[in-house]
Structure 1
Amino acid sequence: MALTCSDIPKILLAILLPPIGVFLERGCDNHLIICILLTILGYIPGIIYALYIIFAY
């Protein structure tokens, strides 16, 4: 999928606070819960998952 201008702030937020980036992309659903858990378990897995969600959708 093509990268749009609205994805750039989401990517920056996904690097700083991964759940915020997922929330902006998908809203409040199971992806947000998974991202929060991954961020609690380790910051890097949360970032990877958030970037995956942003680039996949």
Structure 2
Amino acid sequence: MATPTTATGTNKLLLIIIAFFLPPLAVALKEGLNGSFLLNLVLTLLFWLPGFIHALLVIL
């Protein structure tokens, strides 16, 4: 596995790590406090896995 050397690669890696623990926070950092954040918050509150998957889709 190659280590990301660019700033955007590092930012994506950090957002993925944050998304694993707090998916709504990662979405808020990437997109801001908008509809995508609210959707992710609801998905995460219902069950963690859908919120995590949605966060990965938003980040990547």
Q: Shorter-chain TM-score: which interval? A: 0.7 to 0.9
Q: Which has the higher contact order (CA 8 A, sep 6+)?
A: 1
Secondary structure of the 2:9 match is coil
Q: Deviations over 1:34-56 (max 9, x none)?
A: 0000001110000000000000x
Long gaps (5+) in structure 1: none
In the alignment, what sits opposite 1:29? Answer: 34
Aligned length: 53
Correspondent of 2:20 among 7, 11, 15: 15
Q: TM-score, normalised by structure 1?
A: 0.88
Q: TM-score, normalised by structure 2?
A: 0.83
Long gaps (5+) in structure 2: 1-7
Matched, 1:44 2:49: yes
Specify the structure having the higher radius of gyration (Cα). 2
